[in-house]
Amino acid sequence: MTEQTKRQLIKALAYGKTNDEIKECMEITDDDINSVTAEEIEAEKAYYREMGYLQ
């Protein structure tokens, strides 16, 4: 998985997309999704809240 793909994966998880939705459109595996830590997702959510994209 490239760094760009990982960033997009973290973004999708931060926006609350399901694993099935992500796998379908990004063509990645469960192992790829499971490689992302909760801390990475929370940091991304905090960033998007700060920018006004999430509430």
CA atoms within 13 A on the CB side of 50: 6
Stretches where the chain sits below pLDDT 50 are none
* CB 33, CB 23: distance < 8 Å: yes
Verdict on whether the full-model pTM lies above 0.85: yes
Total domains, the chain: 1
Residue with tokens 């469960």: 30
Report the sign of the C-alpha dihedral through residues 38, 41, 45, 47, in that order.
Answer: positive
Domain enclosing residue 42, as ranges: 3-51
Q: How far apart are CA 14 and CA 24, in angstroms?
A: 17
| pLDDT given for residue 24 in this prediction | 93
pLDDT 10s digits, 37-50? 999 999 999 999 99
